[in-house]
Structure 1
Amino acid sequence: MADPLTQIVGLLQPGAPFFKCVTGSGPWQVRRTQSPNPYYVAVLKGSLRYLGRRGDEVVVRGGDFILIPSAEDFVMVSEAPSTPRDMVVEPVVLPGGGYRVGSVDGPIDMRALVGYCIFQSEDATLLSSLLPEVVVVRGEYRLAMLMQLLGEEAMSSKPGREVVLQHLLEVLLIEALRSSAELGAMPGLLRGLSDDRLAVAIRGIHASPGRDWTVAQLAREAALSRSGFHERFHSAVGMTPMEYLTAWRLAIAKNLLRKGDISVGEVARHVGYRSTSAFSVAFTRDVGISPTRFAREGMSSVAPTSAEHFEGAIA
Structure 2
Amino acid sequence: MTVDPLAEIVTLLQPSASFSKLVEYAGRWRINRDVESKPVYFAVLEGQCRIIVAGRPPIIIGVGDFVLSPSTSVQAIESIDAPPRGIDMVPTELGEGRYRVGSGQAPVNLRMQVGLCSFASPDAALLVSLLPAMVVARGEPRLAQLLQLVGDETRQSRPARELVLERLLEVLLIEALRCGTDLAAGPSVARGLSDDRLVAALRAIHARPAHGWTVADLAAEAAMSRSAFFARFSRIVGLPPMEYLLAWRMALAKRLLCNRELAIEQIAAQVGYGSASTFSTAFTRRVGMPPMRYARTTAAT
Q: Structure 2 length as normaliser, TM-score? A: 0.93
1:15 is paired with a residue whose SS is strand
Match of 2:103 in 1: 103
Match of 1:51 in 2: 52
Q: CA deviation at 1:38?
A: 1.2
Match of 2:94 in 1: 94
Deviations 1:191-247 (A, max 9, x none): 100012111110010000000111111111111111121111111111111111111
The answer to whether the 8 Å contact 2:153/2:165 transfers is: yes
CA distance in 2, matches of 1:143, 1:95: 25
Match of 1:64 in 2: 65
Q: CA deviation at 1:94?
A: 2.4
Q: Which amino acid letter does the alignment assign opposite residue 107 of structure 2?
A: P
Q: 1:227 to 1:66 in 2, by over 3 A?
A: same
Q: 1:215 to 1:35 in 2, by over 3 A?
A: farther
Match of 2:79 in 1: 78
CA distance in 2, matches of 1:127, 1:185: 17
CA distance in 1, matches of 2:257, 2:160: 28
Deviations 1:258-293 (A, max 9, x none): 111111111111111112111111111111111121
- Unaligned 5+ segments in structure 2 are none
- RMSD of aligned residue pairs (Cα, Å): 2.0
Q: CA deviation at 1:3?
A: 0.7
2:262 is paired with a residue whose SS is coil
Q: CA deviation at 1:81?
A: 2.5
The yes-or-no answer on 1:297 pairing with 2:297 is yes
Match of 2:19 in 1: 18
Q: State how 1:1-315 maps to structure 2 within 5 Å.
A: 1-34=2-35, 36-54=37-55, 57-84=58-85, 86-89=87-90, 91-94=91-94, 98-183=98-183, 185-298=185-298
- Unaligned 5+ segments in structure 1 are 302-315
Q: Mean alpha-carbon deviation: is it higher for 197-206 or for 77-86?
A: 77-86
2:181 is paired with a residue whose SS is coil
CA distance in 2, matches of 1:106, 1:9: 40
The answer to whether the 8 Å contact 2:30/2:82 transfers is: no
2:199 is paired with a residue whose SS is helix
Q: Structure 1 length as normaliser, TM-score? A: 0.89
The answer to whether the 8 Å contact 1:205/1:245 transfers is: yes
Number of equivalent positions: 300
Judging by fraction of residues, say which structure has more strand. Answer: 2
Q: CA deviation at 1:136?
A: 1.1
The answer to whether the 8 Å contact 2:132/2:187 transfers is: yes
2:42 is paired with a residue whose SS is strand
Q: CA deviation at 1:103?
A: 1.9
Q: 1:97 to 1:247 in 2, by over 3 A?
A: closer
Deviations 1:150-196 (A, max 9, x none): 22222334333322222111100000111112346311100100012
